[in-house]
Amino acid sequence: MATKTAEKAETTESTESDESVGRLKGILKKAGIGVAVLAVIAGAAWWFVLKPAPPPEPGEILKLDAIQINLAEGHYLRLGLGLQMTSTAHELDGSKALDAAIDLFSGRELEYLQQNVRRAELKEKLMHRLEESYHGDVMEVYFTEFVTQ
């Protein structure tokens, strides 16, 4: 009789063990399906919402008249600008660009402006200011005139 009780106990334990494993497998399947669904949702969100916009199409170039800017030690800079507008930009006013250029170049040392690396840095800073001022309507800035004396 003790043998039958021991066999029943082993059978009960193995049945409970099999049920636990079955429940665990079910939970893991559901978790795997949940992760897959979340991955699909995240991918769709990126594709439709977060995907970066294509670069804007170039439009007209607004050429601004050259201006003279006072530099340090009695020197001056004659600077002409061209603003590459996006195709969606319409009739930009160049006064913001001229103001930014005057602010950026005024009082600079002549030797500083004669270095190509420094001139490129200033052009990049000017472009950053134009992006802020024109809210993305200007794609690029060109120096059409750059004469120092």
Q: What is the pLDDT of residue 102?
A: 97
Query: Please, which pLDDT band fits residue 131 given cuts at 50, 70 and 90?
Result: very high
Report the chain's mean pLDDT, rounded to a whole number: 86
For the ranges 23-32, 47-56, 70-79, 133-142, the lowest mean pLDDT is seen at 47-56
Q: What is the pLDDT of residue 37?
A: 85
CB atoms within 10 A of CB 69: 21
> Is the whole-model pTM more than 0.75?
no
- For residue 143, give Cα distances in angstroms to 21, 120, 122: 73, 10, 11
Angle at 59 between CA 102 and CA 132, to 5 degrees: 40
The whole-angstrom separation of Cα 31 and Cα 44 is 20
